[in-house]
Copies of this chain bind each other. A is one copy, B any other.
Amino acid sequence: MSELENVSVAVSPRDKFGEYLSTRNKRLTRERELVLEQVFSSHEHFDREELVATLTARTDGRRVSRATVYRTLQELERAGLLRKVARANGRDVFEHDYGYPQHDHLICNECGKLIEFPATEISKVVAEVSAAHGFRQRGHRLEVYGMCDECCRPPEGRHPKLDMI
Contact = CB atoms under 8 A, between A and B. Distances in A.
Interface of A: 87, 106, 108-109, 115, 117, 121-122, 125-126, 128-130, 132-149, 152
Q: What number of copies of this chain does the assembly contain?
A: 2
Q: Which of A121, A141, A142 has the most CB of B within 10 A?
A: A142
B149 A126 contact: no
Contacts of A138: 109, 145-147
Contact of A125 (B125, B129, B133): B125
A89 to B, nearest CB: 14
A148 B135 contact: yes
B152 A129 contact: no
B141 A129 contact: no
A106 B125 contact: no
Contact of A149 (B109, B115, B125, B133): B133
Nearest to A148: B135
Contacts of A106: 129-130, 133, 135, 137
Given A106-B130, A121-B125, A125-B121, A146 B142 contact: no
